[in-house]
Amino acid sequence: MNSATIPQGVHIAAIALLMLGVLCAAYMAWQMKRTPPKMAVMRFVWPLCALFAGPLLIWFYHRYAGMDSGKTPYAAKVAKGTLHCGAGCSLADLICENVAHIAPGVLAFFGMGTIFETEIFAQWTMDYVFALLIGIVFQYFAIAPMRDLSVGEGIVAATKADVLSLTSWQVGMYGFMGLAHFLLFPALFGGKVNAGSPVFWVAMQIAMLAGFATAYFPNWWLIRSGLKEEM
């Protein structure tokens, strides 16, 4: 696939949107220092999710994060739990997409040239593996302290909570990024847009919102069934 030709105005607009996300993440990091959440892992969740959700995340935080658990609507609790999953996905994608862009040879460890002939599928495999590992760590620090579990019990519980949540998130995220990669980018810009372009990361912001949408109801079930803690 040919490289894309992105108009300067689109490039500048993409940079502005990314800067807004970074500013929102910085604001949330400041909020976490100013008012630490009861669940320590949420100190990382809120700023990471602000990178893609921006002002919407800030509104949600001020509307619901400070509420007493008994007064928080269940739908908002589910949204917090879904964002908890999204934070791990965000961190993994930030790391993996940049690493693969700088050193594409790493994708050989994730099937490029053997299982996959198209780079994006090896990239998604790498993203999923790292997102799952990070997600289990995030889940562990949410579940183990609340239930007073041993390390082994905590890892098992975290894995049960994260596999469905993460997979459902990735369905939405990969769905939108696949649409962008195979249809939107070639149609709009005449070719491939990679992780070196701000436009790629704006698409990733939208993809993360799509991931939130597809992961919301699986998280509803996970929390209702007791497999995942309320946030």
pLDDT in tens, 13-61: 999 999 999 999 999 999 999 999 888 889 999 999 999 999 999 999 9
Mean pLDDT on 104-131: 95
Distance of alpha carbon 69 from its chain centroid, rounded?
24
Given a cut of 90, whether residue 80 has pLDDT beyond it is yes
Say which residues have a Cβ less than 8 Å from residue 8's Cβ, sequence separation at least 6: none
Q: pLDDT band at residue 70, thresholds of 50, 70 and 90?
A: low
Interatomic CA distance for residues 109 and 147, integer angstroms:
37
Interatomic CA distance for residues 169 and 82, integer angstroms:
8
CB atoms < 10 A from the CB of 221, how many? Answer: 14
The answer to whether residues 183 and 161 touch, using CB atoms and an 8 Å cutoff, is no
Question: Residue 149 in 3-state DSSP?
Answer: coil
Most confident of 22-31, 32-41, 67-76, 158-167: 22-31
Interatomic CA distance for residues 167 and 70, integer angstroms:
29
- Between these two residues, 69 and 35, which has the higher pLDDT value? 35
What phi and psi values does residue 66 have, to the nearest 5 degrees?
-85, 0
Q: Which amino acid is located at 9 in the chain?
A: G
Predicted TM-score (pTM) of the model is 0.92
Q: pLDDT band at residue 67, thresholds of 50, 70 and 90?
A: low
Per-residue pLDDT at 68 = 57
**Tens-place pLDDT, residues 175-221:** 999 999 999 999 999 999 999 999 999 999 999 999 999 999 999 99
Per-residue pLDDT at 226 = 86
Q: pLDDT band at residue 143, thresholds of 50, 70 and 90?
A: confident
CB atoms < 10 A from the CB of 80, how many? Answer: 23
Q: pLDDT band at residue 104, thresholds of 50, 70 and 90?
A: very high
